[in-house]
A and B are shown apart, each in its own frame.
Chain A
Amino acid sequence: EIVVTQSPATLSLSSGERVTLSCRTSQSVGGLLAWYQQRPGQAPRLLIYDTSNRATGIPARFSGSGSGTDFTLTISSLEPEDSAVYYCQQRFNWVTFGGGTKVEIK
């Protein structure tokens, strides 16, 4: 089983700030790494797939990067509606989700 670890667990930032979320996998996942956003009371939605590809309808302020076992989700300028929990997910060997990073707006 591929273990997926996210950091930090929680971030508290102001609107307009740049946000960087980290995700590490226990072995290489061949770039098959996705990011999901889950707002309270809602199902998750896909933001980024295959490391750096934005899903349909996702704003350009969201971007993904990384390779091997280390990946990053960046929000270039935080908006109030970005308050949510963000999960990374590998699909190289079945599926594993990370534990999530909660982003709070000050």
Chain B
Amino acid sequence: QLVESGGGLVQPGGSLRLSCVAYGFTFENYAMHWVRQAPGKGLEWVSAISRNSGSIGYVDSVKGRFTISRDNAKNSLYLQMNSLKPEDAALYYCATLSTTGDYWGQGTLVTVSS
């Protein structure tokens, strides 16, 4: 019900734009989140955006480098990632993290290496 894309191999300092498309539920009714998981590691919340984009938050380690956005008309969530660092390498999930409907994608893999 959530399908991510846009991951890939990028050099340190480079940029990527992740996308997530929602199917089968009313996207505009949910705040949306990006959560990442480095290989063999735990879950780390990255960013969130409210239903109308009026409230946005980031984990400290990505502030000033990542930008979250959404387009409710396209049922889509985005994450613009700039100035990428090796420690940003992870599987990036989009998710609702909602008590009324907890939906996760299967993730898109970001590799940061020269």
Contacts and interface: CB of A to CB of B under 8 A. Distances in A.
Interface residues of B, number: 19
A94 B57 CA distance: 7
Given A43-B93, A49-B99, A100 B48 contact: no
Nearest to A42: B106
Contacts of B99: 34, 46, 49-50, 53, 55
28 contacts: A38-B43, A43-B95, A43-B106, A43-B107, A44-B95, A44-B104, A45-B104, A46-B99, A46-B102, A49-B99, A50-B99, A55-B99, A55-B102, A85-B42, A87-B42, A87-B43, A89-B43, A89-B97, A91-B97, A94-B45, A94-B48, A95-B45, A95-B48, A96-B45, A97-B44, A97-B45, A98-B42, A100-B43
A43 B104 contact: yes
Residue in A1, A34, A46, A100 with the greatest tally of chain B CB atoms within 10 Å: A46
Interface in A83-106: 85, 87, 89, 91, 94-100
B33 interface: yes
A1 B104 contact: no
Contacts of A46: 99, 102
Interface string A62-100: 000000000000000000000001010101001111111
A1 B62 CA distance: 14
Contacts of A99: 42
Given A94-B48, A95-B33, A43 B97 contact: no
Residue in B42, B43, B105, B106 with the greatest tally of chain A CB atoms within 10 Å: B43
B43 A44 contact: yes
Contacts of A98: 42
